[in-house]
Amino acid sequence: MALRKIIHIDCDCFYASIEMRDDPRLRNRPLAVGGDPGKRGVIATCNYEARAYGVRSAMASAYAKKLCPDLLIVPGRMSVYREVSEAIQAIFHDYTPLVQPLSLDEAYLDVTDSAACRGSATLMAREIRERVRQSQGITVSAGVAPNKFLAKIASDWNKPDGLKVILPEEVDDFVRALPVDRLPGVGKVTARRLHSLGVDTCEELRVWRRQDLLREFGSFGERLWELARGIDDRPLVVERVRQSVSVEHTYEQDLPDLAACIAALPSLLEKLAQRLGRLEGDYRVTKPFIKLKFQDFTQTTLEQAGMPVTPAGFEELCSQAYARGGRPVRLIGVGVRLDNARSPIGEQLPLF
């Protein structure tokens, strides 16, 4: 199989990062997003200050508070997290249509045939990380490798806010030294079993014949044999139905008032029209939306069914959104919600 260029992007403590971004008072203290400890709540994610106490995702909130009595647990805001995720996904699609989201906060990108950044996957990963930092105010870690297995391991290598590149000629040495605990699918039970057999690294795993691994671990033995050699031919599973398209821009100088925001709309709408024109498949626009991030990093998103998808419609949305903050604006985003054209949602709305 021809060599591929795969990037794995993973947001750093995604929900917690957004909470700290939107309320700077939460920074530099143990923080988790999750349920009420008194109501059998569970931790969804936490920042690195909390992780230092042993707090982890999927842990009972009450137990997390025992580990870290000063832990602040805030409720999640899924609509905000989805909004940020969609903006990040839109950045990914500027580099390749081959994007496989794994969750709101991570995705694979196949950039093998991408002409962006002179075809350099490393430069693309660096650029994506910087664009997310500038537009969303959070950090992401990235891994670059010839396959999905190694790209995912690489993205976790230098967390948080890290980048790890595994070149094709480095794969063999990298995998040989890799602990078997790091292999996908090797949980605690399988890891203990491997260790009991004297297998701690992939180099030691390579000694085993394929048939012996199959006998010892069943069908997973085949996967172990391949991973120990850095083999992973899985293609990306591309999400073909998009739910929205958007563009946004962070301004070097804050836009001082509503008039300046409205004056900035035409260039954003032109980019939005170009992105809509590149969509593959049949979609209908259901409603427009606009996002404003103010000088103090608070933000608001406004969308309205029935609002015309025209410059005048976006100007009206901008006016209403600006009235919610009334402060200088550092970022504007414009976009439209989409539905698959095969669904019975009415006539195609006019675009621009």
257 is in an annotated binding site: no
Name the residue among 8, 58, 21, 105 with its Cα closest to residue 297.
Answer: 21
Name the residue among 275, 240, 239, 245 with its Cα closest to residue 338.
Answer: 245
The DSSP call for residue 137 is S
- Contact between 157 and 122 under an 8 Å Cβ cutoff? The reply is no
Pairwise CA distance, residues 96 & 94, whole Å: 6
Which residues on adjacent β-strands are paired with residue 99?
Answer: 109
DSSP string, 102-141: EETTEEEEE-TT--GGGG-HHHHHHHHHHHHHHHHS--EE
Tokens of residue 257, six digits: 């008032």
Look at residue 277 in the predicted model and tell me its pLDDT: 77
Looking at CATH, the fold of the domain delimited by 176-227 is given as DNA polymerase; domain 1 (1.10.150)
Give domain limits for the chain.
6-14+89-169, 15-74, 176-227, 244-340
Which helix (H) or strand (E) segment is 10 a member of? strand 6-11
CATH, range 15-74? 3.40.1170.60
Pairing of strands 140-145, 163-165: parallel
- Contact between 132 and 138 under an 8 Å Cβ cutoff? The reply is yes
Pairwise CA distance, residues 61 & 114, whole Å: 44
Q: Which of 83, 86, 106, 316 is catalytic?
A: 106
Tokens of residue 266, six digits: 């035409």
Pairwise CA distance, residues 336 & 284, whole Å: 10
DSSP string, 292-352: EEETTS-EEEEE-TT--SSHHHHHHHHHHHHHHH-S-EEEEEEEEEEEETTS---SPPP--
CATH, range 6-14+89-169? 3.30.70.270
Q: Cα 135–122–186 angle (5° rounding)?
A: 95
**Statement: the pTM of the whole predicted model exceeds 0.75:** no
Tokens of residue 163, six digits: 């980048």
Q: 316 an active-site residue?
A: no
Which helix (H) or strand (E) segment is 217 a member of? helix 210-217
Pairwise CA distance, residues 87 & 254, whole Å: 20
> Is CATH 3.30.1490.100 the classification given to domain 244-340?
yes
pLDDT tens, the chain, 352 aa long: 568 999 999 999 999 999 999 999 999 999 999 988 888 788 999 999 999 999 998 888 999 999 999 999 999 998 899 889 999 999 999 999 999 998 889 999 999 999 999 999 999 999 999 999 999 999 999 999 999 999 999 999 999 999 999 999 999 999 999 999 999 888 888 899 999 999 999 999 999 999 999 998 888 899 999 999 999 999 988 865 677 888 888 888 899 999 999 999 999 998 888 888 777 666 778 889 999 989 887 889 999 888 888 899 999 999 999 999 999 999 999 999 887 654 433 333 344 4
Which residues 6+ apart lie within 8 Å of 81 measured at CB? 14, 15, 18, 104
105 is in an annotated binding site: yes
Pairwise CA distance, residues 44 & 58, whole Å: 6
Pairing of strands 72-74, 31-34: parallel
